Chains A and B, each alone.
Chain A
C-alpha cells in the first residue's frame, strides 16, 4: 500500500554564505523566530539551493547570527546559509532585493569558509544608536559620564515572572552622546555573547530614561 516517493538527495553542503541586511519600517516589529522564517521564504523565492538538515523533519540550514529584539531597526544584521550547489554571491546580492519584504534591505553577500565557526558564536559586541522621541534630559551627557565613571553598576533586569541581577558596568564597552540630524543621540557598544549581554534598554534604565520613548538601531555586530 505504500506509494513510492522520489528520494531526496542527501549530500554535504558545498557553500556557505553570509548575508548582511538592514531592518527598518514594519520589519522592526518582527521577532527573531519570525525573522528566521521570513529569510527562509525569501531565499526559497530566490530559488537558492538551500541545504537541509538530516533527520526526521529536515529544515533548511539558515540561521540568524543574533536575533534582533522586537522594535529595533538595524543597519547590518547577519544571516548565514548553507547551500547544496555553488552560487555567485554578487548574483545573489543583485537578485535578492526583489524577494524581500519592504523593511529588509541587502547590505552585502559574502562567502564564508565551510568549516569556520557559526557566526552566532563569533559575536562579541554590538553597536547601537539610541534616538529619543522626546527631547532627552539636558544633563544626558553628565549622566552618561557618571555611568562610565562607576566601577560597578549593580543592575536588575525585570521581565514578567523573573528578575536577572548582574553588574552592568563591564558590559558597557562604550557610550557617547552625539549629535544626529540636529538631535542628541546616544551611541553604545555593548557586550554580547556567552560572557553576558547588555541591552540598550538596560543602559536607558540605568540612565533613568524611559525605554519605550526611544528608537533603537543596531548599527553593527562586532565579530571576533
Chain B
C-alpha cells in the first residue's frame, strides 16, 4: 500500500498475507502516533533500535524512547524500532522468506548502518540471536563483513558484556545519550573505510568497548586470569559514560495502539539511588544520583499530556520517596491535573508512612494495591543487605495503608540472600501474618496481602558480586515452607522458578566462553526464555554441556575477593575496594546509611571529577 512506494522495503502485500495469520498483528505494523517516519533516501546514518522481547514489553522501555527521540532530532540521522517477533510471526516470516524489518519504514534490519540492542535482562539473550537470524545478519561479530551493519548493545546487562561478547561488534557502556551520538558521528565520518578501522577508532571513544580488541586469559582452574587489549593505545578498563545532568525529557513519545506494559506517559524524575542496598545492582551502576528540577517535571508533564493524550503519568525513578521535593511536586501535579482526570504512578515506594501519604495523594494505585519491598524477613538479614527498614516501619506502613482505605498490600521478598537461615525465612511468614492481621482489623474480609519471593541473583558490580547463587534445593525447601506457612484466607504467595534463576545467574556472571553456550541453546530452540511457556531448561543444560561448561560453576561458585572477575575491565565508577568493604560490613551486619547525608567514598566522585566540576555543587545528590 502506501509503503510500497519506496524501494527496498519489505513488500506490504507479502506482509498483508502473513499478518492475518498471526496473533496481534498490530505488534508488527508500526504507524503509532508520534512514530517518526523519516525519508530513508536522504538520511545520513540509519540506526535500528531493537528491544529483544515482545513489542508490548519493549515499548515500555524508557531508555530506548530517549535514544529514539535524540537520534531522530538529528537532521542527518534516523532511528527506527524493531522487537522480537513472537514465535508465530517468526515462523511466518521464515516461511514467507521475509527478513525482520523496522516498524517505521519496513526496511530490513540488514539495510541499517547500525543495529543496536538494549540488554536489560539476561533471559532475553537468545532473542537477540533470533532477531539477528531473522534479519539475515551473521550472528557472530567475527563473521560479519563490510556489507553488514554494525551490531551494538547497551543497557544495564552490558555492565558484564562478556557472555554476549561474541555477537556484538561493540558495547556502549553506561548512559547512552552522548556516546551514541558520538558513535553516529564516527560512523558518518568513517563511511567507506574498512570495518576494522572503524572498530579500532570506536574503541578509543570513552565508554565504548570493542570485545574483539580484547584478549582473555584463563588460569588452570578455568577462571579469568586477565582481560587485556590486544593493541597499544586502547584503554585497559572501559569506564561507563554518564551525563552530567539529566538531559531534557522525552515529551513526544510513541503512543502505542496495543495495550503495552506500563502504558502511560513516563517522566524520569530522578536517576540513580542513594540507599545503598547491597544486593542491588541498579543502586551501584546508576550512580551518581541526579534529580530533575520540579519545575522541569511540571513543564514536561504538561507537554507529555498534550502530545500523547494519556491520562496516567509514571514518575520514574529507582526510589520515588527519596526525591527531595516529592511532596510539593505531587501536590502541584495533582492540583493541576486531577480535574482533567489524570492520575500519577509512583513506583518503588519506601516502606514508611510518608510513602503511604504520597500514594494517597496520587490515588493511582488504589485499585491495584500498594507495593513495598522489605526484601528480607528478619531484622538481622535486612541489616546484612543494608535494607534499613525495621519491623515497626513495616507495621506502621501497613496500618497507614489499610486505615487509609487500601484493601491490598503487596510485599516483595528475596530468598537465597547471603547468610540466610531457616529462621530468616520463617520471619517472612511471621511478617506477612502480622500485616494480614492489621489488614483484617481495618478492612475485615476484604483485606489482602500478596507476598512475592523472588530468588536472589548476585549481580556484577554489587557488593554481593562475589557471592554464590544459593543452593537451589535449599531455596525450593524454603519456598515450600513459606507456601505452607502462608495458607490463609486473604494471603497470596508466589515465587520464582529456580531453574530460571540458575540461568539468569549464569548469564549475568559468565565470561565470554558462555557465548558459545547461548548460541548452542538458541540453535536447539531456546527463545523467549523469560516466558514460562517457552523456557526450556533441558535445552540450556545440554547447551552448556556441549561446550564443556557448567552452569553451576558460573552461578553458584563463591569467588575469591582477589579473583579477576570477568567484568573487572568494565568500570561503573564505583571502586571494587568499596564493594569489598560493603561486603565486609554486610557480614558484620553493619549499616551504611543513605549517602545523601554523608559520603562513603564509593569512588563515583573521583571517577567523574570533571563532570562534577562542570555542573557544580547541588546538581548531584552527593554531599
| A165 CB, min distance to chain B CBs, angstroms | 24
Within 8 A of B (CB), among A16-30: 24-30
User: What are 27 inter-chain pairs, A to B, with CB distance below 8 A?
Assistant: A1-B357, A3-B334, A5-B334, A5-B338, A5-B361, A8-B341, A24-B2, A25-B3, A25-B31, A28-B29, A29-B26, A31-B24, A34-B258, A38-B33, A40-B311, A41-B255, A41-B310, A42-B33, A42-B309, A43-B309, A45-B306, A57-B367, A58-B341, A60-B341, A101-B35, A101-B257, A102-B31
- State the A residues within 8 Å of B (CB): 1-3, 5-6, 8-9, 24-31, 33-35, 37-38, 40-45, 47, 52, 57-58, 60, 70-71, 99-103, 133, 211-213, 215
**Are A31 and B26 also in contact (CB < 8 A) when A3-B361, A60-B341, A215-B16 are?**
yes
Provide the bound-state CA to CA distance between A52 and B404, in Å: 26
Q: A30-B257, A45-B309, A101-B32 are in contact. Are A213 and B367 (CB under 8 A)?
A: no
Question: Is the Cβ of B339 less than 8 Å from the Cβ of A44?
Answer: no
CA distance A71 to B306 in the complex (A): 29
- When distances are taken between beta carbons in the complex, the residues of chain B under 8 Å from A6 are 334-335, 338-339
Task: Evaluate contact between B338 and A8: CB separation under 8 angstroms.
Answer: yes
What chain B residues lie within 8 Å of A101 (beta carbons)? 31-33, 35, 255, 257
Q: Which of A24, A28, A29, A41 counts the most B-chain CB atoms under 10 A from its CB? A: A29
Q: Which residues from B are CB-within-8-Å of A44?
A: 305, 309-311
**What's the count of A-B pairs with C-beta under 8 Å?**
111
B5 interface residue, CB < 8 Å from A? no
Distance in angstroms from B399 CB to nearest chain A CB is 11
Which residues in A have their C-beta under 8 angstroms from that of B367? 57
| Given A1-B360, A133-B13, A29:B309 Cβ within 8 A | no
Task: Determine if A27 and B361 form an interchain contact, defined as CB atoms under 8 angstroms apart.
Answer: no
Chain A residues with CB under 8 Å of B339's CB are: 6, 8-9
Residues of B within 8 A of A34 (CB): 26, 257-259
CB of A54, distance to nearest CB on chain B (Å): 13
| Closest B residue to A31 using CB positions | B26
Residue contact B331 to A3, C-beta cutoff 8 Å: yes
Complex CA–CA separation, A60 to B342 (angstroms): 12
A40 touches B309 (CB 8 A): yes
On whether the beta carbons of B357 and A26 are closer than 8 Å, the reply is: no
A11 to B512, CA, bound (A): 65
A35 engages B257 (CB within 8 Å): yes
Q: Determine which of A38, A43, A133 lies in contact with B257 in the assembled complex, contact meaning CB atoms within 8 Å.
A: A38
Interface 0/1 of B1-44, CB less than 8 Å to A: 11100000000010011011100111011111101010000000
- Contacting pair A41 B309 (CB below 8 A): yes
B257 contacts which chain A residues (CB < 8 A)?
A: 27, 30, 34-35, 37-38, 101
Report the Cα distance A220→B31, complex, angstroms: 23
Q: Which residue of A lies closest to B256 (CB)?
A: A34
A82 to B426, CA, bound (A): 55
B409 within 8 Å of A by Cβ? no
Question: Please, how many angstroms separate the alpha-carbon atoms of A136 and B308 in the complex?
Answer: 43
